[in-house]
């Protein structure tokens, strides 16, 4: 595992993972490959650049030649790079298919050629679709209901097919919703926090009854590292164990932490299609030793504090609203899912 290629390492989760894996003594080199889309920021890596083990490559996972060169030099790949925002997938599904599906396949082709020893494909619980009750094990059928989740499900299947067909040692991780510092302010927690800190209103869709499992980003990264080290090739691992919460209760928590009240919340109509609830069983990874350790309330307070102390990091980003994107008619009144991921 001595040379690790991390795609999407300038994004939210990837940058946390890079800082974590750089601390591992058995890791000799970490290379980040990131296209620095609107969602990627080299500043997210910050102190990671103090490590001589880190190399940053500005490039696209769709660039087969570049990918081939980089994969040839590394023993392991942890693949985070993706278009990750559900709302954007309503407006621009093509970009999701290109990066999430074709980009993944480009990496897999290179991994097959160069006999990469470990390939962790980072995915999401959204591939299971909504669960009215119970929780999804890794065997649960994939029933994604938005283009983002469908593109991730497709990439999971392609990745696993490369294990079956060519023996590429792929593991897939599927985590629930992450929160923590450095997340782009288009996602619900930073969106609400940054608005409330500026004394602005936030919008809650419908009755706010949609349940998400909120997992601290460091817990997800711990799970991903465990899968990188101990996951069985060809296997999928759910990474859950965060705190289940409706969007209404989450809003209440954020109001409390930011010192605001319900007057700051505008209720807007629910969307046509909506994943009411996600829930995962993560006992398979727990059997390898995974256990989330972050307390939700403390984690949320610490995350809010980070946004309070670092307006220079998010203020410029909050000026690139989704509203600037073309609005297809079918998507304009769709889904509460919006900010949830
Ligand atoms: P993010 O949007 O913050 O970061 C994505 C990164 O990928 C960015 O740095 C971006 O520049 C880079 N990127 C995008 N397209 C690229 C391309 N074609 N070539 C190279 N780099 C490219 O996303 P995130 O929230 O950190 O999510 C990381 C991964 O985890 C994604 O695969 C996502 O599907 C998955 N995931 C996220 C969550 C969550 O709650 N955020 C939950 C489960 C799974």
- pTM greater than the 0.75 cutoff: yes
CATH number where 229 lies: 3.40.50.720
How much distance in Å is there from the Cα of 209 to the middle of ligand 1? 26
Q: Is residue 286 part of a domain?
A: yes
| High-pLDDT (> 90) share of the chain, % | 85
How much distance in Å is there from the Cα of 34 to the middle of ligand 1? 10
Structural domain boundaries, residue 120: 2-184+216-242+277-294
Rounded to the nearest integer, the mean pLDDT of the chain is 92
Q: What is the pLDDT of residue 103?
A: 98
Q: What is the pLDDT of residue 153?
A: 98
Q: What is the pLDDT of residue 325?
A: 47
Write the pLDDT tens digit of every residue in 32-62: 999 999 999 999 999 999 999 999 999 999 9
Is any atom of ligand 1 closer than 6 Å to the C-beta of 81?
A: yes
Active-site annotation, residues: 125-126, 148
Write the pLDDT tens digit of every residue in 129-151: 999 899 999 999 999 999 999 99
Q: Is residue 269 part of a domain?
A: no
Out of 6-15, 231-240, 268-277, which region has the weakest mean confidence (pLDDT)? Answer: 268-277
Is any atom of ligand 1 closer than 6 Å to the C-beta of 9?
A: no
User: Which ligand 1 atom is the nearest neighbour of the CA of 187?
Assistant: 41
Q: Is residue 103 part of a domain?
A: yes
Residues forming a β-bridge with 179: 216
Q: Is residue 328 part of a domain?
A: no
Alpha-carbon torsion, ordered 159, 285, 246, 41, to 10 deg: -50
How much distance in Å is there from the Cα of 37 to the middle of ligand 1? 10
Q: Is residue 116 part of a domain?
A: yes
Overall average pLDDT of the 217-244 stretch? 97
Number of Cβ atoms within 10 Å of the Cβ of 288 = 14
Is any atom of ligand 1 closer than 6 Å to the C-beta of 34?
A: yes
Annotate 18-59 with DSSP letters as a single string: HHHHHT-TT--EEEEEE---TT--GGGGGGGGGSTTEEEEE-
Q: Is residue 340 part of a domain?
A: no
Q: How far apart are the first and last CA of the chain?
A: 31
Question: How many structural domains is the chain composed of?
Answer: 1
Is any atom of ligand 1 closer than 6 Å to the C-beta of 80?
A: yes
Full strand arrangement of the beta sheet holding 54-58:
54-58, 29-34, 3-7, 76-79, 118-124, 170-175, 236-239
DSSP type of residue 180: -
Q: What is the pLDDT of residue 333?
A: 35
Q: Is residue 222 part of a domain?
A: yes
How much distance in Å is there from the Cα of 340 to the middle of ligand 1? 15
CB-count exposure of residue 294 (10 Å: 0-12, 13-18, 19+): buried
Q: Is residue 160 part of a domain?
A: yes
């Amino acid at each position: 595992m001595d040379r690790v290629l991390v795609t999407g390492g300038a994004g939210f989760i990837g940058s946390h993972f890079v800082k974590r894996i750089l601390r591992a003594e058995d890791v000799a080199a970490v290379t980040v490959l990131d296209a620095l889309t609107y969602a990627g920021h080299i500043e997210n890596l910050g102190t990671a650049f103090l490590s001589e083990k880190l190399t940053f490559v500005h490039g696209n996972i769709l660039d087969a030649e570049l990918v081939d060169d980089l994969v040839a030099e590394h023993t392991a790949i942890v693949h985070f790079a993706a278009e990750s925002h559900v709302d954007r997938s309503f407006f621009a599904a093509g970009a999701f298919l290109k990066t999430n599906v074709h980009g993944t396949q480009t990496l897999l082709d290179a991994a097959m050629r160069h006999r990469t020893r470990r390939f962790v494909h980072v995915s999401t619980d959204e591939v299971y679709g909504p669960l009215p009750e119970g929780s999804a094990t890794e065997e649960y059928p994939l029933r994604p209901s938005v283009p983002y989740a469908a593109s991730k499900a497709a990439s999971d299947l392609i990745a696993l097919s490369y294990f079956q067909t060519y023996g590429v040692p792929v593991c897939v991780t599927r985590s629930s919703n992450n929160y923590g510092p450095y997340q782009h302010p288009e996602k619900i927690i930073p969106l609400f926090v940054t608005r409330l800190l500026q004394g602005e209103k936030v919008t809650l869709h419908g009755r706010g009854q949609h349940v998400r499992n909120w997992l601290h980003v460091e817990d997800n990264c711990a799970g991903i590292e465990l899968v990188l080290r101990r996951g069985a090739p060809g296997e999928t691992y759910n990474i859950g164990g965060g705190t289940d919460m409706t969007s209404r209760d989450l809003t209440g928590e954020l109001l409390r932490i930011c010192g605001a009240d319900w007057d700051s919340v505008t209720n807007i109509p629910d969307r046509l299609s909506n994943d009411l609830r996600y829930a995962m069983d993560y006992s398979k990874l727990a059997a390898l030793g995974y256990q989330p350790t972050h307390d939700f309330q403390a984690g949320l307070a610490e995350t809010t504090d980070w946004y309070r102390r670092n307006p220079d990091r998010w203020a410029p980003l909050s000026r690139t609203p989704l509203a600037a994107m073309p609005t297809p008619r079918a998507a304009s009144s769709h889904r509460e899912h919006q900010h949830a991921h």
